[in-house]
Amino acid sequence: TDEQLFDIYVKSLKPLTRRQFKLALLANNLLDVIDNTIASIADPLVKAHITIEYTESTEFVRTSDSVKYMLNILDLTEEQANTIWEQALTL
């Protein structure tokens, strides 16, 4: 099915380095947005978890729960997230 093919595609995306992840956010005018959005997470435990994941990770895996959460709070569609991810892989 299309959904299965999409899942295979997403799982095939290589992890990004911290540099690639942040440069891709910068190139898409999302660097300040993610900082501000993480800062506004109401649940203190979720906020602390995502802050640690974002600020301390050396690599970002497209299928990880924390990356999915970050992409979701940026209000990106799956297609937009994948486009940005592909761009980041070239940086």
Note if the pTM is more than 0.85.
yes
pLDDT digits (tens, 9 = 90+) for 67-81: 999 999 999 998 999
Q: How far is CA 1 from the centre of its chain?
A: 25
Spell out the residues 6+ positions from residue 18 whose beta carbon is closer than 8 angstroms to its own. Answer: 57, 58, 59, 60
Q: For residue 9, what pLDDT band results from cuts at 50, 70 and 90? A: confident
Burial class (CB in 10 A: 0-12, 13-18, 19+), 24: buried
